Amino acid sequence: MAEDTVQQSAQAPVNVKKTASEVEKLIDEKINLAKKLGIMGDLEPIEGYRETEEYQRITEIDKRLWELVK
pLDDT in tens, 25-35: 999 999 999 99
> Is 70 exceeded by the pLDDT of residue 23?
yes
Kindly indicate the confidence band of residue 11, based on its pLDDT and cuts at 50, 70 and 90: very low
Range from 6-15, 22-31, 34-43, 59-68 carrying the lowest mean pLDDT: 6-15
Q: Is the pTM of this model over 0.85?
A: no
For the chain, what are the domain ranges? 19-69
DSSP string, 2-60: HHHHHHHHHHHHHHHHHHHHHHHHHHHHHHHHHHHHT-STTPPPPTTGGGSHHHHHHHH
Check if the beta carbon of residue 38 is closer than 8 Å to that of residue 45: yes
Instruction: Please give the Cα distance from 67 to 54 (Å, whole number).
Output: 20
Cβ count within 10 A of residue 22: 13
